[in-house]
Structure 1
Amino acid sequence: MWRVMIAEDQEIVRQGLKVILEQDANLKVEHDVDNGQQALQVMEKFMIDFILMDVRMPVMNGIEATRQIKKRWPDVKILILTTFNDDEYAVQALREGANGFLLKTSDSKKLLEAVYSCMNGGLTIHEEVAAKVMPRLLGNSSGKTSTDVDLSPREGKITYLVGQGKTNREIAEELYLSIGTVKNNLTRILQKTGLRDRTQLAIFAVKHDIGE
């Protein structure tokens, strides 16, 4: 079972999200907080697997909370909740290591799908705003150019599939590899490219047109 924390400053929204998430037997909302600082305090005391993070919160917003949490607990998955007016925040969140963002207008099915995608290593970006956000990310992504990176054929295929938003399990199934092998290859790919995380690698793959 995945241990979940909801960071959202509106109590009625928190309670609604909790009801939706706990429809799934694999999800247990163990903590809900109303600002980023409280989210950090929970992280210091408890084991958390997944955080549903609002952007605009008092005391500490979701972007700063994401930055600090990812720096200290990089394996924790964070899905940002956003609105159309929060595009800039969404871009910042992805640069800070968030595992994706979803519009607050999404239905419960899409929310649960996004949670599973994040937990399985995917990059979830709501399709209605991806077209607006991705060009900005591609224009500012870090890392070496594709000609500077000597990827093996397998590493190239894995990088391509990451850019397609595939999870580790989906990559393993498509390439007939174990999930452990995929993870080991991803570690080497990040070292070779000089990138920080899977989000940056996905952006790198698209920006440099990494093919199959």
Structure 2
Amino acid sequence: MIDILIAEDQTLVRQGLKFMLETAPDFRVTGEAENGKQAVELCERNRYDLILLDIRMPIMNGLEAGKIIRENNPTVVILMLTTFNDTEYALEALKNKANGYLLKDGDATELIKSVKSALKGGLALEDQVAAKVVPSLLERQVAVKEIDSQLTPREIEIMTFIGKGMNNHEIAENLFLSVGTIKNHISTILMKLSLRDRTQIAIYAIKHHLVDESM
């Protein structure tokens, strides 16, 4: 049997997903959570083969919960659920090593098909999600390769944070580094790319698809 945890804050949606999944004879929902924090706590106490996480939940969202669960459970299959066909959510979920990204308005047949694919090692992406995500991923890979030869992975990471509008203190907290170290990295980035200031770094990061241009 495949033991499944569903984390979804809307009771009716959660029950609907449970009903659809359990139409498959080898699936059983053995855990339910109303938010990401509860999902993380349940995963600390119990073993699951598959976890379905809603993206938008109170207290702790699905992206945060998925990242924590993945760190503690490297082999568990994690699928993200949402009603929002949003490229950035999908990219963030995949970056956190989720096994797929599904829209909640799918039918039972498609849901079960996607789950079985993920359990076999596949990447479960519904067609309309894949149509947006795959081109975006390819664009970002090309863009990163263009600057990989000039910058270190840490410098690229800091550029991304600057592109998202973070200040030095926020970047330092995210990377567990000192503000002084961040300032030194920024100085190196400016020199390597012949840029004038952090505003130009932010623009560079957006143009090279390190950050979503809509942000």
Report the TM range for the smaller structure's normalisation: 0.5 to 0.7
* 1:110 corresponds to: 110
Paired letter, 1:59: I
User: CA offset at residue 132 of structure 1?
Assistant: 1.1
**What's the offset of the Cα at 1:35?**
0.7
Indicate whether 1:33 and 2:33 are aligned: yes
Distance 2:44 2:141 in 1: 30
Which segments of 5 or more consecutive residues in structure 2 lack a partner in the other structure? Answer: 146-215
Q: Where does structure 1 differ by over 4 angstroms across 4 or more consecutive aligned residues? A: none
Q: Distance in 1 between matches of 2:116 and 2:10?
A: 24
1:10 shift after superposition: 0.3
Structure 1 unpaired stretches of 5+: 146-212
Aligned to 1:74: 74
Aligned equivalents of 2:56 and 2:141: distance in 1?
Answer: 24
Q: CA distance change for structure 1 residues 85 and 124 in 2, over 3 Å: closer, same or farther? A: closer
Contact preservation (8 Å) 2:55, 2:61: yes
* Aligned counterparts of 1:102 and 1:118: Cα–Cα separation in 2: 11
Bigger-Rg structure (1/2): 2
Say if 2:81 and 2:103, in contact at 8 Å, map to a contact too: yes
**Identity fraction in percent:** 48
1:140–1:72 CA distance, 2 compared to 1 (3 A): farther
Contact 2:5 2:30 in 1 (8 A): yes
Rounded Cα–Cα distance in structure 2 between residues aligned with 1:29 and 1:136: 34
Matches within 5 A, 1:17-28: 17-28=17-28
C-alpha distance in structure 1 between counterparts of 2:47 and 2:28, whole Å: 12
Task: Please state how far the C-alpha of 1:84 moved relative to its aligned partner.
Answer: 3.6
Contact map agreement 2:85 2:103 (CA 8 A) in 1: no
**Cα distance between partner residues in 1 of 2:102 and 2:8:** 14
Read off the aligned partner of 2:50 and give its amino acid letter.
F
How far does residue 128 in structure 1 lie from its aligned partner after superposition?
A: 1.1
Q: Map 1:43-122; keep pairs closer than 5 Å.
A: 43-122=43-122
- What is the aligned-residue RMSD (CA, Å)? 1.8
Letter in 1 for 2:20: I
The answer to whether the 8 Å contact 1:66/1:78 transfers is yes
Tell me, yes or no, if the aligned pair for 1:84 and 1:129 is still in contact at 8 Å: no
